[in-house]
Amino acid sequence: MSRRLSFHEAAERELTDAAAYYHNSSPGLGNSFVDDVERSITQIEEYPESGYLLNRAVRRVLLRRFPYAVMYSVNPGEIRILAIANLKRRPFYWQGRK
């Protein structure tokens, strides 16, 4: 079953901000971060139920190389990316996003 993928606007901002931060730290590292996020999203699209279930509605997939996770929900017809969450910051700050 194919589901539409959508991003919460704050998740898009988190992705952009983190990629810029890593790029400024070391040229090319921002691209590696984006590649890691894209790899996780591909996994989510192929196996939406595979992410660790945090609560009834939200799942998590950890990035391989960076201290981030993709938080998402699975609904009929849609996968919603709720956050590209930095795991070293305030936990669960993204709760309440839909």
User: What's the CATH number where 21 sits?
Assistant: 3.30.2310.20
Residue 77 structural domain: 4-85
Residue 93 in domain:
no
Q: Which residues contact 98 (CB under 8 A, 6 or more apart)?
A: 8, 73, 80, 82
pLDDT band at 82 (very low <50, low <70, confident <90, very high): very high
Report yes or no on 97 lying in a domain.
Answer: no
Considering the domain boundaries, does residue 28 fall inside one? yes
Determine if the pTM surpasses 0.75.
Answer: yes
Residue spans of alpha helices (H) in the chain = 9-25, 29-46
- How many structural domains compose the chain? 1
Confirm whether 62 is domain-assigned.
Answer: yes
Tokens of 34: 């984006």
Q: Cβ contacts of residue 2 below 8 Å, gap of 6+?
A: none
**Residue 1 pLDDT class (50, 70, 90 cuts):** low
Considering the domain boundaries, does residue 94 fall inside one?
A: no
With respect to residue 92, please indicate whether it lies within any of the assigned structural domains: no
User: Is 98 inside a domain boundary?
Assistant: no
Taking only the tens place, the pLDDT of each residue in 8-67 is 999 999 999 999 999 999 999 999 999 999 999 999 999 999 999 998 899 999 999 999
Residue 97 has pLDDT above 80, yes or no: yes
